Amino acid sequence: MVLTELFGGVFVGDIDAAKDLDLLRARNITNILVTATGLEHFHEGQPNLVYCHVDILDDSRDELLPKLPKCFKFLRQATKKGQNVLVHCLAGSQLHILANSNIYQIKQYL
């Protein structure tokens, strides 16, 4: 299981972290950004959990750039309220891209 805080309440994790409701609660994660095609919202309907789903193929062939505005909007809305967010996909390739992108620029956008 992978769950890492990138900055200020924005976490990245794998599918196992997204399935673990106790872990999400322990980290005060109330917003989940699913960045993969075909993944379910494991805790849909749970109080105090908000989902946003962005269909991204979990490999290097998908075009990520046009999908970033929706991701950033969701992240911005949550972080402005002081809420924690989990960003997760299936195999981790999109998380690798996010984690290796310029975090300073992402923080400026939020």
At 32, which CATH number? 3.90.190.10
Examine the pLDDT at 108 and tell me if it is beyond 70: no
Would residue 99 count as lying in a domain? no
Would residue 107 count as lying in a domain? no
Confidence band (pLDDT; 50, 70, 90) for 100?
Answer: very low
Q: How many domains does the chain have?
A: 1
Task: Tell me what pLDDT residue 30 has.
Answer: 96
Examine the pLDDT at 27 and tell me if it is beyond 90: yes
Would you give the distance in Å from CA 12 to the centre of its chain? Answer: 6
Task: Tell me what pLDDT residue 29 has.
Answer: 97
Would residue 24 count as lying in a domain? yes
Would residue 88 count as lying in a domain? yes
Would residue 56 count as lying in a domain? yes
Would residue 15 count as lying in a domain? yes
Q: Which residue range is the domain that position 25 belongs to?
A: 3-92
pLDDT in tens, 51-75: 998 887 756 666 777 777 888 889 8
Examine the pLDDT at 90 and tell me if it is beyond 70: no
Question: Is residue 11 a contact partner of residue 5, using CB atoms and an 8 Å limit?
Answer: yes
For 46-50, 69-73, 97-101, which range has the lowest pLDDT when averaged over its residues? 97-101
Mean pLDDT within 27-41: 87
Please give the C-alpha separations between residue 85 and each of 49, 61, 62, in angstroms, as whole numbers.
10, 26, 23
Question: Is residue 30 a contact partner of residue 48, using CB atoms and an 8 Å limit?
Answer: yes
